[in-house]
Amino acid sequence: MRAMAVRTFGGPEALEAVDLPIPEPGPGQVRVRVRAAGVQPFDTRVRAGWAPPSIRLVPPVVVGNEFAGVVDAHGPGASAFQPGAEVLGFTTLGCYAEYVVVPETQMVAKPPAMPWEVAGGFPANAQGAYQCLSGAGIHEGDTVFVNAAAGALGTFTVQLARAWGASTVIGSASPANQDHLRALGAVPVAYGPGMVDRVRAISDRVDAAVDLHGVDGLRAAVALVADRRRIRTMVDDDAATELGVPLVEPGRSAARLTELCALWEQGRIKVHIRHSYPLDRAADAHRGSETGHGRGKIVLTVD
Kindly state whether residue 158 falls inside one of the protein's structural domains: yes
Residue 64 has a pLDDT of 98
Same domain, 140 and 71: no
Residue bearing the bigger pLDDT, 251 or 49: 49
Kindly state whether residue 262 falls inside one of the protein's structural domains: no
Q: Rounded to 5, what percent of the chain is helix, strand, coil?
A: 35, 25, 40
The three-state secondary structure class of 169 is strand
Overall number of domains in the chain = 2
Same domain, 236 and 281: no
pLDDT at 214 over 90: no
pLDDT at 292 over 80: no
Kindly state whether residue 67 falls inside one of the protein's structural domains: yes
Last residue of a domain, one of 243, 262, 291: 243
Strands of the 168-173 sheet, one edge to the other: 187-190, 168-173, 143-147, 208-211, 231-233
Same domain, 14 and 67: yes
Same domain, 7 and 117: yes
Same domain, 205 and 157: yes
Q: pTM of the entire structure?
A: 0.93
Last residue of a domain, one of 243, 259, 288: 243
* Domain that includes residue 194, residue range: 127-243
Q: Please state at what angle helix 195-202 crosses helix 215-224, rounded to 10 degrees.
A: 40
> What does the alpha-carbon distance between residue 65 and residue 100 come to, in Å, rounded to a whole number?
10
Residue 73 has a pLDDT of 98
> What does the alpha-carbon distance between residue 39 and residue 46 come to, in Å, rounded to a whole number?
12
Average pLDDT over residues 272-296: 93
Residue 291 has a pLDDT of 85
How would you classify the pairing of strands 208-211 and 143-147?
A: parallel
Same domain, 292 and 198: no
| pLDDT tens digits for range 159-200 | 999 999 999 999 999 999 999 999 999 999 999 999 999 999
> What does the alpha-carbon distance between residue 147 and residue 158 come to, in Å, rounded to a whole number?
10
pLDDT at 236 over 90: no
> What does the alpha-carbon distance between residue 144 and residue 169 come to, in Å, rounded to a whole number?
5
Residues with Cβ within 8 Å of residue 209, at least 6 apart in sequence: 136, 144, 145, 146, 147, 220, 221, 224, 225, 230, 231, 232
pLDDT at 232 over 90: yes
Kindly state whether residue 10 falls inside one of the protein's structural domains: yes
Same domain, 145 and 233: yes
What does pLDDT average to over the chain?
96
Same domain, 139 and 237: yes
Domain with residue 231: its CATH number is 3.40.50.720
Residues 302/34, Cβ–Cβ less than 8 Å:
yes
Same domain, 225 and 164: yes
Residue 177 has a pLDDT of 94
Average pLDDT over residues 119-140: 97
Residues 17/280, Cβ–Cβ less than 8 Å:
yes
Same domain, 210 and 292: no
Average pLDDT over residues 242-247: 95
Count of beta carbons in the 10 Å neighbourhood of residue 80: 16
Average pLDDT over residues 107-120: 98
Q: Which amino acid is at 87?
A: V
| pLDDT tens digits for range 141-152 | 999 999 999 999
Kindly state whether residue 256 falls inside one of the protein's structural domains: no
Last residue of a domain, one of 201, 223, 243: 243
Nearest to 276 by CA among 99, 113, 39, 114: 39
pLDDT bin (cut points 50, 70, 90) of residue 250 is confident
Same domain, 15 and 64: yes
Please state, in angstroms and as integers, the Cα–Cα distance from residue 272 to each residue in 16, 22, 176, 198, 297, following that order. Answer: 27, 32, 15, 27, 6
pLDDT over 70 percentage in the chain: 100
pLDDT at 204 over 90: yes
Domain with residue 72: its CATH number is 3.90.180.10
Residue 11 has a pLDDT of 98
DSSP labels for 24-79?
Answer: PP-TTEEEEEEEEEE--HHHHHHHTT---TT----SSEE---EEEEEEEEE-TT--
Task: Give the H or E element holding residue 187.
Answer: strand 187-190
Kindly state whether residue 253 falls inside one of the protein's structural domains: no
Same domain, 147 and 207: yes
Kindly state whether residue 232 falls inside one of the protein's structural domains: yes
Kindly state whether residue 172 falls inside one of the protein's structural domains: yes
pLDDT bin (cut points 50, 70, 90) of residue 294 is confident
